[in-house]
Amino acid sequence: MNDYERVALIIRYLDEHHVEQPDLNALAQRVALSPFHFHRLFSKWAGVTPKGFLQCLTAAHARTLLREGKSVLETALDAGLSGPGRLHDLCINLEAASPGELKSGGSGCELRYGFASTPFGDWLAAESQRGVCHLSFIDAGESAAAVAVLQDEWPKARLIRDNTVAANLSSVVFDASRRNRSRRALSALVRGTPFQVRVWRALLRVPPGALVSYGQLAALVGSPRAARAVGSAVGSNPLAFLIPCHRVIRETGVISDYRWGQTRKRSIIAWESARPRLTSERA
């Protein structure tokens, strides 16, 4: 059991027993660790204590982030930003595959792919000469099925196993200190309809620590009545975490389904919203 699996187990437990307000000892017992080791592991993973992290998991916290989302987006747009709205976040150049490339299914293209660990479990990553083209979180026993999905997306491409691709991407995406040193924009190549690509580009404008509703996202892409179509595009996101579809929730503040698991979505939202808190505590 890796660190994320232990944290996910605790989050699922808290979803069912939060009314009981379980203490540190009870949580540590759930993952067969001493209170000291559990507190240290959790704080290292989340960046804040278990108690502080729990506050980021509540529905009330999600609703607050949702209300803040509109003003955050407006600020980003007013500043002319085409990517994420915070300097410490990723800069991503998102390029759409051409109709000819879509039809060819990746013929004549080499994709280097591999597996690596992230703060949210393992993921499968693939990269072409033009950029990152696939990212998906995987659980135990899903490796072969995940590769089959990748091959189905690019049926005529040649797949070459190279775990360093996934490891390097994990380091760049999740290690803020490395991002800030390089400041190099990541290139990404996606397969999708023009509408889907428009939605995915809009998602890049939602900064970490902010959330938007499907309706707000629909308005952002100029189709305020197309919330359902926007939801479908969000669910078809080919680049887990990189295109932050996890930052989209329902108007009520409910954290809805996620392609890679609702528990993982709740974990990512709370983890991201804990980052500014950690920074302010250190200031």
Task: Looking at the structure, tell me whether residues 134 and 205 fall in a common domain.
Answer: yes
Task: Looking at the structure, tell me whether residues 31 and 92 fall in a common domain.
Answer: no
3-class DSSP assignment, residue 16: helix
Residues in the chain, overall count: 283
Task: Looking at the structure, tell me whether residues 221 and 277 fall in a common domain.
Answer: no
pLDDT attached to residue 280 = 39
CA pair distance 262, 74, nearest whole angstrom: 28
Task: Looking at the structure, tell me whether residues 149 and 181 fall in a common domain.
Answer: yes
CA pair distance 155, 188, nearest whole angstrom: 19
Q: Give domain status of residue 256, yes or no.
A: no
Residues 6+ apart with CB under 8 A from 110: 128, 129, 157, 158, 160
- Enter the tokens of residue 61: 């916290």
Per the annotation, the verdict on 133 as an active-site residue is no
CA 18 to chain centre: 25
The one catalytic residue in 56, 109, 133, 245 is 245
* Contact predicate 151/136, CB 8 Å: no
Task: Looking at the structure, tell me whether residues 13 and 101 fall in a common domain.
Answer: no
* Long-range pairs of 137-145 with CB within 8 A, sequence gap ≥ 24: 137/240, 137/241, 137/260, 137/261, 137/264, 139/261, 143/115
DSSP secondary structure code for residue 157 in this structure: S
Task: Looking at the structure, tell me whether residues 242 and 276 fall in a common domain.
Answer: no
By DSSP bridging, strand 110-118 and strand 158-161 are: parallel
Task: Looking at the structure, tell me whether residues 10 and 150 fall in a common domain.
Answer: no
* Long-range pairs of 264-270 with CB within 8 A, sequence gap ≥ 24: 264/8, 264/120, 264/121, 264/137, 266/11, 266/15, 266/57, 267/4, 267/7, 267/8, 267/11, 267/120, 268/120, 268/241, 269/56, 269/62, 269/65, 269/211, 270/46, 270/53, 270/56, 270/57, 270/61
Radius of gyration of the chain (CA): 19
Q: Give domain status of residue 254, yes or no.
A: no
pLDDT attached to residue 52 = 74
By DSSP bridging, strand 131-138 and strand 121-128 are: antiparallel
* Contact predicate 105/156, CB 8 Å: yes
Task: Looking at the structure, tell me whether residues 27 and 81 fall in a common domain.
Answer: no
- φ, ψ dihedrals at 98, nearest 5°: -75, 160
Task: Looking at the structure, tell me whether residues 165 and 110 fall in a common domain.
Answer: yes
pLDDT attached to residue 243 = 95
Helix (H) or strand (E) holding 14: helix 3-17
pLDDT attached to residue 110 = 94
pLDDT attached to residue 74 = 61
DSSP secondary structure code for residue 185 in this structure: P
CA pair distance 184, 260, nearest whole angstrom: 27
Task: Looking at the structure, tell me whether residues 24 and 155 fall in a common domain.
Answer: no
Q: Give domain status of residue 202, yes or no.
A: yes
Q: Give domain status of residue 109, yes or no.
A: yes
pLDDT attached to residue 138 = 95
Helix (H) or strand (E) holding 100: helix 99-104
pLDDT string in tens for the chain (283-residue length): 778 888 888 888 877 776 677 888 989 998 889 999 999 888 888 777 787 777 777 666 777 777 776 565 665 555 444 443 333 356 788 999 988 888 899 898 999 999 999 999 999 999 999 999 999 999 989 999 999 999 999 999 999 999 999 999 999 998 765 555 555 678 999 999 999 999 999 998 888 878 888 998 998 888 989 999 999 999 999 999 999 999 998 877 777 789 999 889 988 988 887 765 444 334 3
Task: Looking at the structure, tell me whether residues 38 and 136 fall in a common domain.
Answer: no
What's the CATH number where 158 sits? 1.10.10.10
Range of the domain at 144: 77-249
For residue 39, the number of C-alpha atoms closer than 13 Å in the C-beta half-sphere is 10
Give this prediction's pTM: 0.81
pLDDT attached to residue 281 = 38
Task: Looking at the structure, tell me whether residues 90 and 112 fall in a common domain.
Answer: yes
Number of domains in the chain: 2
